[in-house]
Chains A and B, each alone.
Chain A
Amino acid sequence: MQRVVPWLALIARLVVGGVWIAAGALKLPDPAESVRAVRAYELLPEAIVPTVGYLLPVVEVVVGVCLIVGLMVRPMAVVSSVLFVAFIIGIAAAWVRGLEIDCGCFGGGGVEEGASSKYPWEIARDVGLLAASLLLVWRPRTPWSVDRFLFAADAGEGFDPDFDSDFDQDPSDDLQPDVNLEGRV
């Protein structure tokens, strides 16, 4: 089990990172549309709506790229978790208030007929991605990450408990004990 976690976390990194890059990149071309999508939720004061609208796609792409390359995985996973919690609240609030809006998750946004029928699926998706993000907050140390090159692994508990975990430095070793003996009778 202990040896599986880093690989699960690697998958979480790539999936969550990929989703963030797609979501952010689709919103970057039209900042005004992104602002309108934020406004459509009717949750934030108008004074900060434009800033949030400009900032969100940028943060999404940055978090996505960092997760994919494995840079500052734990802080990025914290930001990712916070964003998913915010989105779940936003969609749930729209649902409760009977707003029919396209979530604007991957660009677009605004009213859409029948949009509310998608809310449950959108919330389920975000809950899944939140769980994957939390896994990375718990176990940020994964194979194939920039963090492994940047940060010393022997800094002790004061810096990052996972650096002392049983997970050893050579990722290829970790696969061996987990290789399933399927097919070998």
Chain B
Amino acid sequence: MAKNNAGKNERSRAARQAAEIRREAAKKEARRRNLAVSAVVLVAIVAIVGIALAIQSGRDSTGASATPPAGAVGDFGVPRGDADAPVEITIFEDFMCPVCGQLEALTRDFLEPAVDNGDVHVIYRPVAFLDRYSNGTKYSTRSVNALAAVLDQSGPEVAAAFHDLLFDNQPQEGTDGLSDEKLIDLAVEAGADRDTISAAIEDRAFGQWVVNATDQASKDGVTGTPTVEIDGERAEGSIAEVAAAMKAAIEAASK
């Protein structure tokens, strides 16, 4: 009896051991398979990310060469007034930006006479930060391209007049913005030649320049519009404070 039992125990232990070995082998096989599947999935994901990265980088034309419009200062500036004036004010702006419109409204009354008197040299640095706020029509890019085209064809005085018209007719953020036809009409009203300006506006003749101008502003540390620099110094504070600082700088220099 005892012998029999011992034999039974022996057998069942052997069976248990065999089962244990089988389980271990199955586990090992499952692990191996899981690792192989992980590797394949991982390679696929990395490939997808790599391809998408290449596509994204290819879609950004930033840095491609572009001829600046004739009359631009420092490649990306649209000048207004006498370059030898005692004060130089640089305004980074986007024609879709409501606060830029507010700054324009707050400053135009003293800025224009000061420009005419030769007290201040204004350099507009138009940028297209807000292209996403015009229902896909990219109004920021279109308006800056139009300004560049007017500067190129008709010079700074007509460009300045067109600049003011863009703000007088500023569209609401989130709308389509002004149509190309309206931009052409305003450019002609400012003094541009309809036949030549139409093509430059419709064909985005300075489209790449706009991309580069926007990128350069970003690299210059401009993260939003409007940004104002008075004689190279960034003006901080609210829009009212910035406008007051501009006025004070001009008054101090013209005394």
Residues of A within 8 A of B (CB): 28-33, 35-36, 39-40, 42, 46, 50-51, 54-55, 57-59, 61-62, 66, 71-72, 75, 99-102, 107-113, 150-152, 154-156, 158-160
The segment out of B51-59, B105-113, B117-125 that lies at the interface is: B51-59
Q: Once the chains bind, are A155 and B30 in contact (CB under 8 Å)?
A: yes
Inter-chain CA distance A152–B38, complex, in Å, is 11
A-B contact pairs, 19 of them (CB 8 A): A28-B56, A30-B132, A32-B62, A35-B218, A36-B129, A54-B60, A55-B53, A55-B56, A62-B48, A72-B45, A100-B224, A101-B223, A110-B224, A111-B223, A111-B227, A113-B238, A154-B27, A155-B30, A159-B30
| Among all A-B residue pairs, the 5 with the closest Cβ atoms | A111-B224, A152-B30, A155-B30, A54-B56, A40-B223
Using Cβ atoms and an 8 Å threshold, which residues of chain A touch B129?
33, 36, 110
Residues of B within 8 A of A (CB): 26-27, 30-31, 33-35, 37-38, 41-42, 45, 48-49, 52-53, 56-57, 59-60, 62, 99, 129, 131-132, 211, 214-215, 218-219, 221-225, 227, 238
Contact (A72, B49) CB under 8 Å given A107-B132, A113-B99, A154-B30: no
Q: Once the chains bind, are A71 and B132 in contact (CB under 8 Å)?
A: no
Across the interface, A46 reaches (CB within 8 A) one of B45, B57, B219, B224, namely B219
Q: Once the chains bind, are A108 and B34 in contact (CB under 8 Å)?
A: no
Q: Once the chains bind, are A31 and B224 in contact (CB under 8 Å)?
A: no
Inter-chain CA distance A31–B37, complex, in Å, is 33
Majority-rule SS of B interface residues: helix
Inter-chain CA distance A58–B56, complex, in Å, is 8
Inter-chain CA distance A145–B51, complex, in Å, is 25
Across the interface, B31 reaches (CB within 8 A) one of A36, A57, A155, namely A155
Q: Once the chains bind, are A112 and B31 in contact (CB under 8 Å)?
A: no
Using Cβ atoms and an 8 Å threshold, which residues of chain B touch A32?
60, 62, 211, 214-215
Given contacts A28-B56, A46-B219, 19 further A-B contacts (CB under 8 A): A31-B56, A32-B62, A35-B60, A36-B218, A39-B223, A50-B60, A54-B60, A55-B56, A101-B224, A107-B132, A109-B223, A110-B129, A111-B224, A112-B224, A113-B99, A113-B238, A152-B30, A152-B33, A156-B31
Inter-chain CA distance A59–B223, complex, in Å, is 24
Inter-chain CA distance A55–B56, complex, in Å, is 8
Inter-chain CA distance A28–B31, complex, in Å, is 37
User: In this complex, what residue of B is CB-closest to A109?
Assistant: B223
Across the interface, A58 reaches (CB within 8 A) one of B26, B30, B49, namely B49
Whole-angstrom distance between the Cβ of A138 and the nearest chain B Cβ = 19
User: In this complex, what residue of A is CB-closest to B35?
Assistant: A159
Using Cβ atoms and an 8 Å threshold, which residues of chain A touch B222?
111
Whole-angstrom distance between the Cβ of B45 and the nearest chain A Cβ = 6
Inter-chain CA distance A7–B52, complex, in Å, is 32
Across the interface, B34 reaches (CB within 8 A) one of A30, A99, A109, A155, namely A155
